[in-house]
Homo-oligomer: A and B are copies of this chain.
Amino acid sequence: MLKLIPNNRSNPDNFPTLRHTALFKALPTNIRASLAASCTRLTILKNETLMVQNDPADWFYFILSGWVKVYRETQEGDEAVIELLGAGSFVGEYAFLEGDIHSSDAAAAEKLSVLRMPCSVLKQAVNTSHSAALAMLQSYAEKRQRQTRELESLKLQDAPQRIGCFILRQCQGKPSGSRHVKLPYGKSLIATELGMKGETFSRALGKLKNTTHVGVNGGKVHIPDIGELAEFVCAGCSNEYPCKDLVELANRRA
């Protein structure tokens, strides 16, 4: 169920990406010590499973590198991707609040490096430390907003708009007003994340290229006019997402 390559007992303090996490910063020192004693760095191969829906939740993970696919599967093998988590994210950190059971499956979308930590420690942290609870709350809040956006997106946007929206989101936090972004992972994975089949993705992307002046070459995306793309995308979107800000920002920087 979980093949681990090296098995190094690791001190979380040695990993800046973890140390700078809001959740980690909120942990009291005794908990940090617990973590240091029980934290293991793992390498997980592509398609290996991190957690299984409805299994008792013993561990949660911090992603050092790679992408984790959180998903659910029907008896018939259809799968719905719930989210894709990358470096700097936690996986399974909510289980201790949800009946000590994992509420979804999770697997490595590619080779991963993670830190594995016991749920029990986190549970204890949140139960005993107010600041830890607050950090957890903040994390939930962000998660909820993302999920709400995705719900809206599924209900209101068609395939080309959802793809455009995905591309716009990739532009966030880009250093310059650069209109070049790289797709973070494979197209068929993006497709399931956006709730469509690979073929539909391919065709919808074609439509997007024709309609806006977005250019796609393999994984490289060129957006000559962000405003145009945003206009196309946001026709099917409440303005909740910082698209406006994003466009303004990008234009100012350009």
The answer to whether B238 touches A73, judged by C-beta atoms less than 8 angstroms apart, is yes
In the bound complex, CA of A21 to CA of B154 (Å) = 32
Which of these, B82, B98, B145, B235, contacts A151 with CB under 8 Å? B82
Per assembly, the copies of the chain total 2
Partner of A134 from B127, B141, B145, B147 at Cβ < 8 Å: B127
Q: Is the CB of B148 within 8 A of A97?
A: no
Instruction: Say yes or no: B156 contacts A78, CB within 8 Å.
Output: yes
Q: Is the CB of B145 within 8 A of A103?
A: yes
Asked whether B133 lies within 8 Å of A137 as measured between CB atoms, the reply is yes
Collect the chain B residues with CB atoms within 8 Å of residue A136's CB. 137
Mask of A217-254 contacts with B, CB within 8 angstroms, 1/0:
00000000000000000111111100000000000000
A65-86 contact mask (Cβ, 8 Å, vs B): 1 or 0: 0000000111110101110000
Interface string of A125-163 (1 = CB under 8 A from B): 011001001101110110111011011101110000000
Interface size on A, residues (CB 8 A): 45
Looking at the assembled complex, report how far the CB atom of A130 sits from the nearest CB atom of chain B, in whole angstroms.
4
Q: Does A8 contact B (CB under 8 A)?
A: no
The chain B residue with its CB closest to the CB of A70 is B148
How many Å from the CB of A195 to the closest CB on chain B? 5
CB distance from A69 to the nearest CB of B (A): 14
User: What string of 1s and 0s marks CB contacts (under 8 Å) between A167-196 and chain B?
Assistant: 000000000000000000000000000010
Please tell me if the beta carbons of B72 and A240 are within 8 angstroms of each other in the complex. yes
Contacts of A120 in B (CB 8 A): none
Interface residue? A202 (CB, 8 A):
no
Q: What chain B residues lie within 8 Å of A154 (beta carbons)?
A: 151, 154-155, 195
Is there contact, CB below 8 Å, between B145 and A147? no
Which residue on chain B has the smallest CB distance to residue A80?
B155
- Report Cα–Cα, A239/B234, bound state, in Å: 34
Is A49's CB within 8 Å of the partner chain B?
A: no
Q: Which of B76, B97, B141 contacts A138 (CB 8 A)?
A: B97
Complex Cα distance, B102 from A238, in Å, reads 13
A78 touches B137 (CB 8 A): no
**How many angstroms from the CA of A94 to the CA of B141 in the assembled complex?**
7
How many whole Å from A79's CB to the nearest CB in chain B?
Answer: 8
Q: Which 7 A-B pairs have the closest CB atoms?
A: A80-B155, A72-B238, A140-B140, A97-B141, A133-B133, A130-B130, A147-B147
Offer 21 A-B interface pairs, CB within 8 angstroms, sorted by A.
Answer: A53-B239, A54-B240, A72-B238, A74-B156, A74-B236, A74-B238, A75-B235, A80-B151, A82-B148, A103-B240, A104-B148, A127-B134, A130-B130, A130-B133, A133-B134, A143-B144, A144-B144, A147-B147, A150-B151, A151-B154, A155-B195
